[in-house]
Amino acid sequence: MKKYAVGVVGATGMVGQRFVSLLENHPWFQLTVVAASSRSAGKTYQEAVGTRWAMPTPMPEEAKSLVVLDAQADKEKIAGSVDFIFCAVDMKKDEIRALEESYAKLECPVISNNSAHRWTPDVPMVIPEVNPEHIQVIQDQKKRLGTQRGFIAVKSNCSIQSYAPALHPLRPFGLEKVLVCTYQAISGAGKTFETWPEMVDNLIPYIGGEEEKSEKEPLKVWGTVENGQIVPAQTPSITAQCLRVPVSDGHTAAVFVTFKNKPTEEEIKAAWKNFQGRAQELNLPSAPKQFLQYFEEPDRPQAKLDRDLEGGMAVTLGRLRPDTQYDYKFVGLSHNTLRGAAGGGVLLAELLCAEGYILPR
């Protein structure tokens, strides 16, 4: 099989680094281009990143000598030399929207880790196991953009991966109310303990914009495609509180839920165990074999023990039990820079390739 030529825009940041590391030895994708701001342009990737490489594995050899291009000034060169790009830039939202749309209009598909286009009605925001049918709006988006192959698809916020996938197979029981408290790792802010020593022995009860995303984004993921746009679901009602905690990787969620037709604990566990999504049906390279994994032990899941399960692409669950105010409560965990960010982006790209939305040039 001919590999897809891939670019990473925003390659020097933490999520960009994760994309670069995940593309090493990928069976379908070949890293061809790295791009960042004008400050890094013209340097080799190794020079541009320098001592800021934050991944647990060494920088891929294939990436070290790539010359960093300017994400803005070199757009035409980048778009013309790859089959699609992953975008993980650190810019203002209006600037990101303009940048991503300009790449799409240059006939380059954009798989975005950014939040800027998550609420654009004809841009699919996809968790491949949960709402793969949303990618059909791409045809309508391309009509709006006037493109043949260029489009934008986004992945959802990293924190909702720790609870929305677990709630998804329970929707047939009639989800009515959800309360969620997320305990989010420092890598979600692009930090390590070395670069953010203030987080050692600390907890910050505020993450800007995170609670609004946590309450609204699942409703778009569970929405319906109508007249070329995604119309968000009306239920369940979700309220969220989000805290930054001294954990390197892995977002944890404490979830409380009420149903219209209350299932038994056994029915909930069976729904989790038996759930398979489109990513599993297609046997995509990055898809976990068992997407939702439940632990019976009372002290699991734990970030340090369980975040890397199935290459960091599984969602781990535990502590399901009745609640005095809601029907049930449980705990969820997902790796925020793998399932929640770059890994989810790579899986989305695999889905789009497998379903024929991205074709090699």
Which residues are known to be catalytic? 158, 251
| Residue 112 · residue 152 · CB < 8 Å | yes
Residue whose tokens read 């006037």: 146
Where do the DSSP E strands lie in the chain? 4-9, 29-36, 69-70, 84-87, 110-112, 152-154, 175-184, 224-226, 229-231, 237-244, 251-259, 292-295, 315-322, 328-334
Q: Report residue 352 as tokens.
A: 């789009």
Sheet containing strand 237-244, strands side by side: 237-244, 175-184, 251-259, 328-334, 315-322, 292-295
Sheet containing 84-87: give its strands across. Answer: 69-70, 29-36, 4-9, 84-87, 110-112, 152-154
What sections of 24-92 are H helices per DSSP? Answer: 45-49, 61-64, 75-81
Q: In this structure, are residues 348 and 355 in contact, taking their beta carbons and an 8 Å threshold? A: no
Measured between alpha carbons, how far is residue 333 from residues 52, 131, 274, 347 in Å? 27, 20, 18, 18
Name the CA dihedral angle for 134, 117, 359, 14, rounded to a multiple of 10 degrees: -120
Handedness of CA 10, 14, 15, 17 (dihedral sign): positive
Rounded to whole angstroms, the Cα distance separating 140 from 228 reads 5
Q: Which two structure tokens, joined as six digits, stand for 252?
A: 């944890």
- Report the alpha-carbon distance of residue 252 to residue 174 in Å, rounded: 24
